[in-house]
Each structure stands twice: as C-alpha cells, then as structure tokens.
Amino acid sequence: MNDHKPAWGWLDVVLVYLGIIAASLLFGRYGQQLMNYLSGLGIPDTALSKFTVAYSLQFLVTVGLVLLLAGIVHRSGWRELGLAPVTGRQFLRYGILGGLALLVVIFLLSLPLEILKPDLPPQTYEEMLRLAEGAGQFLLLLFLGVVLAPIAEELFYRGMIYPLARYSLGPVWGAIGAGLVFGLAHWDFWRAIPLAVGGAILCYLYEKSGSIWATATAHSIWNGIMTLLVYFSLR
C-alpha cells in the first residue's frame, strides 16, 4: 500500500454509517409494506425473508455509498479502494491461508466466552440458521454470509476506513484502530474483542496484498466455515 492521503475523509465514513442507519430505520418503518408487496410476488413473509431483504438492502447501501463518495465524488481510482487484482500467490497466501489462520485465531479467542458467558445469546445470523429449513434456505444464508457480507465489509472497513486510519496512525495502530471500529460496529459487547482482532488481521492481509479481493476471500472462509459448523451443530 502507498502512504499518500486518501482522497476521501472521515466525514465520508460518517455519511456511510448514517446511510446504513437510515436504511435500517426505514426498513423498520416501512419493511412490512415492502414484505406485503413481495408476498404478492410469491415471496413468503417469514423471518428469514425479512432478514434476507434487510441484509440485501444494507449491502446495496453500503457498497453504493462507498463507491459514490470515494469513487465518484472524490474521484479516487478503484485501486485506492482496494479493488485491485491479485496474483495467484497472493490469493493463496493472503486469501486462502490467511482466512484459515484468521479462523483459528478467532476460534481460540472465542473459547473464553464459552466459560465467561455460556448463555450468550446467538447473533441474528445464527438465529436465521436455526430457522433454516432445507438446502435452499441454508444456501441463501450461506450466500449472504460468504459473498455479500465479505464484499460490503471489506470495501468499507478495509478499503475505506483502514487507509484513513493508516495515514493518521501508521500501519500497526491504523490496523488496531480500524479493527476496533469493525468490532464495535457489530454492536455485540461480548464478541467485540474477537471481532476487533479479526478486523485487525484483515487489515494486515490488506496491507500485504493491497487488494480487498484477497481479504474478502479470507473473510469468506472465516464466515463460511463458521456457518457450516453452526448449521450442522444444530442438526
């Protein structure tokens, strides 16, 4: 990665966050009307359907605002946002192997939670996995967690936030700071530390690869294996 100041600023990060919050509030207010309309198209009005629609809207808002503010308003290149190609070696080292290492670290950091908070409520995504019936619904949730979530989160947290933190604090503290933002943004106090460490590791992988495609792959492996473990543990 280069050391120059990103074309965008912290105000743009705040605007993306506000956009995500606004989308969530609007869905909370008008989501049922939207689900009623979708029901007329044959989509069942279930908790899983609502989660899928809400998650898809959040994905579109996040990606759309990042590309609008950084790419169009500030005219930054795609590479500045981490949308750069990776070599096969980088993909293997920082995507595949990085994702497996990330998974191991998060798993080890999560073990104390089983002791300190054995009755920790499941995350919403896990609750949806509990409700999933059949391969179709499971594959839909897998798509959300393995494709949409990594792309949106890597573009925002690693592509947009980390370069700002890195420019102000340097690579190490920038990764720690961006990781903390990532962990706290999930609004889950008990899981914030493992998530923050995971976010910092993803910043390191981005630092080494220069591409969010590598970090999105690592993120997908993390999410994907955890999804499989949770889903089949419930069966």
Within the chain, where are the H helices?
10-40, 47-66, 88-90, 98-116, 124-131, 134-143, 149-153, 162-169, 171-184, 192-209, 212-233
Mean pLDDT score, 180-205: 91
| Residue in this structure with the two tokens 């590479």, named with its chain if needed | 79
| Residue in this structure with the two tokens 């460490």, named with its chain if needed | 197
Can you give the three-state secondary structure of 181-219, one letter per residue? Answer: HHHHCCCCCCCHHHHHHHHHHHHHHHHHHCCHHHHHHHH
Q: How far apart are CA 12 and CA 30, in angstroms?
A: 26
Averaged pLDDT score across all residues of the chain: 92
pLDDT band, residue 235 (cuts 50/70/90): low
Using DSSP's 3-state secondary structure scheme, residue 92 falls into helix
Q: How far apart are CA 17 and CA 20, in angstroms?
A: 5
Mean pLDDT score, 100-116: 87
Least confident of 41-55, 87-101, 122-136, 197-211: 122-136
Mean pLDDT score, 74-95: 93
pLDDT band, residue 24 (cuts 50/70/90): very high
Beta-carbon neighbour count of residue 28 at 10 Å? 10
Using DSSP's 3-state secondary structure scheme, residue 139 falls into helix
Q: How far apart are CA 225 and CA 158, in angstroms?
A: 21
Angle (CA) 74-167-151 rounded to 5° is 60
- pTM reported for the whole predicted model: 0.92
